[in-house]
């Protein structure tokens, strides 16, 4: 169902979402605190690994996220425009929330902004990702697009369409589509929390690895997820005018990354002890003497952890968990851009943190600095820690 001068619209050559410059770049210019949105993007990266029909993912172009899918009709590809709502009031989403304009300015409601994305060559679909659930009136939108309850003749959908058309009687997309088109093609995607999305991504990544024949540990999966979060953040931060290709991740790129990183983990397990550690330190441009000292500390740690002379087994496990937690936190801050230094400085920061942990021991306890640093280097040797700047 459309509205407006269809003869004129039929002659318009609509640009592809992959080529058209975004109307604005508010997202890339103000992305502080967008961790939740990046985590949602990571979930779509995993979907693209799983489904050949998901061809490309845009980060901060024509919407928060744009999913370009292979068309399920001869009409062509589908562009799914995804809005991620992380800052929400502690209440259910309502029709009024969907229609509320900013300072009563036309075109600024969530509904208008979403339908207004329908201006490209691709068939437009829409998704709203929210932490909070919706009121009963909006529940049909949470069902799959093919669900019987979403039939536009159902009482609920008729009522929704009536509400939208009464609030926006003259509003159409640039391609002439009206509220009923949006209702047919919008999925309301309810999530619970950033933590729940992270947990789901972790399980999905491990499951996909097993499906493709790679038996990886959860700690290795966490490292891969960090890489994907960095990729989403980098794409979101990039500017279209300078390098539009950085903002669009293709399935071929993602598959190539996956194969390379999985092979890296497998090689790390098969390589002689210390081999991957030396590579990680070389990547960070650390001098040979530091590499040699690190290898000695890792060897001493390996001997002590197998047959501890100064620590009981419980203390060994506790310290190992502490080191892993500390380096994970440091690396996560590095990936997020909260630490902005070269690889050699990040390596020094990691060593300083091990010294700080060592200083927390009780009076009279054995110095554990060598054990802590050896543990850190062992983590790097297992491909679970990199010292090089993210992206290098």
How far is residue 163's CA from residue 157's CA, in Å, rounded to a whole number?
A: 10
Tokens describing residue 266: 């497998």
For the chain, what is the radius of gyration of the CA atoms? Answer: 25
Question: In sequence order, which ranges of 104-193 are alpha helices (DSSP H)?
Answer: 110-115, 155-167, 179-185
Phi, psi of 303 (to 5 degrees): -65, -45
What is the pLDDT at residue 317?
81
Residues 6+ apart with CB under 8 A from 200: 43
Cα 68 from chain centroid?
16
How far, in Å, CA of 278 to CA of 295, rounded?
8
d(CA 181, CA 115): 9
In 3-state terms, what secondary structure has residue 150? helix
Cα→Cα distances 57→17, 22, 32, 197, 299, Å = 11, 14, 21, 18, 43
CA torsion, points 324, 372, 298, 390, in degrees to nearest 10? 40
pLDDT of the residue at 313: 73
Instruction: State residue 167's pLDDT score.
Output: 96
How far apart, in whole angstroms, are the C-alpha atoms of residue 390 and residue 336? Answer: 9
275-283 and 251-270 are packed helices; what angle lies between their axes, rounded to 10 degrees?
130
The secondary structure of 72-101 as a DSSP string is SSTT--EEEEEEEE-S--SS-B-HHHHH--
pLDDT per residue rounded down to tens, the chain (392 residues):
444 455 566 678 899 999 898 987 655 444 444 789 999 999 999 999 999 999 999 999 999 999 999 987 656 899 999 999 987 778 899 999 999 999 999 999 999 999 999 999 999 999 999 999 999 999 999 999 999 989 999 999 999 999 999 999 999 999 999 999 999 999 999 998 888 999 999 999 999 999 999 888 877 888 888 889 888 988 998 899 988 999 999 999 999 999 988 887 766 554 455 678 888 899 999 999 999 999 999 999 888 887 777 777 778 888 988 998 899 889 888 887 889 999 999 999 999 999 999 999 888 888 999 999 999 998 898 888 889 987 66
Cα(178)–Cα(126) distance, integer angstroms: 13
Pairing of strands 123-130, 78-85: parallel
**Rounded to the nearest 10 degrees, what angle do helices 275-283 and 369-381 cross at?**
90
First and final C-alpha spacing in the chain: 50
Nearest to 120 by CA among 40, 18, 260, 267: 18
Contact call for residues 347 and 354 (beta carbons, < 8 A): no
Cα–Cα nearest to 53, from 68, 42, 73: 68
pLDDT of residue 269: 52
Counting every residue written for the chain, the total comes to 392
Is the CB of residue 179 less than 8 Å from the CB of residue 165?
Answer: yes
Q: What is the pLDDT of residue 217?
A: 80
How would DSSP label each residue in 196-210?
Answer: HHHHHHHHHHHHHHH
């Amino acid at each position: 169902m459309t509205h407006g001068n269809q003869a004129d619209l039929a002659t318009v050559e609509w640009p592809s979402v992959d080529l058209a410059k975004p109307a604005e770049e508010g997202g890339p210019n103000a992305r502080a605190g967008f961790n939740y949105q990046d985590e949602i993007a990571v979930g779509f990266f995993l979907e693209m690994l799983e489904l050949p029909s998901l061809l490309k993912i845009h980060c901060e172009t024509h919407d928060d996220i744009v999913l370009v899918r292979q068309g399920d009709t001869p009409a062509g590809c589908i562009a799914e425009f995804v809005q991620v709502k992380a800052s929400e009031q502690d209440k259910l989403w309502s029709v009024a929330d969907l229609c509320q304009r900013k300072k009563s300015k036309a075109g600024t409601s969530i509904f208008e902004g979403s339908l207004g994305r329908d201006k490209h060559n691709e068939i437009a679909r829409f998704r709203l990702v929210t932490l909070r659930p919706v009121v009963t009136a909006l529940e049909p939108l949470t069902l799959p697009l093919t669900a019987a309850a979403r039939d536009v003749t159902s009482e609920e959908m008729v009522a929704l369409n009536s509400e939208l058309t009464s609030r926006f009687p003259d509003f159409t997309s640039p391609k002439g589509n009206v509220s009923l088109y949006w209702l047919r093609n919008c999925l309301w995607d309810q999530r619970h929390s950033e933590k729940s999305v992270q947990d789901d991504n972790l399980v999905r990544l491990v499951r996909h690895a097993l499906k493709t024949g790679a038996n990886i540990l959860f700690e290795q999966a966490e490292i891969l997820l960090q890489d994907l979060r960095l990729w989403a953040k980098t794409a979101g931060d990039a500017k279209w005018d300078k390098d539009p290709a950085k903002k669009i991740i293709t399935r071929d790129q993602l598959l190539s990354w996956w194969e390379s990183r999985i092979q890296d983990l497998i090689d790390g397990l098969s390589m002689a002890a210390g081999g991957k550690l030396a590579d990680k330190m070389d990547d960070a441009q650390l001098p040979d003497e530091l590499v040699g000292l690190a290898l000695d500390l890792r060897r001493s740690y390996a001997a002590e952890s197998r047959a501890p002379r100064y620590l009981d087994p419980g203390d060994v496990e506790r310290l190992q968990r502490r080191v892993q937690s500390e380096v994970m936190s440091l690396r996560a801050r590095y990936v997020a851009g909260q630490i902005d230094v070269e690889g050699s400085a990040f390596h020094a920061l990691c060593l300083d943190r091990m010294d700080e942990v060592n200083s927390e021991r009780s009076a009279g306890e054995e110095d554990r600095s060598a054990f802590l640093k050896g543990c850190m280097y062992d983590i790097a040797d297992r491909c679970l820690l990199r010292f090089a700047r993210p992206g290098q």
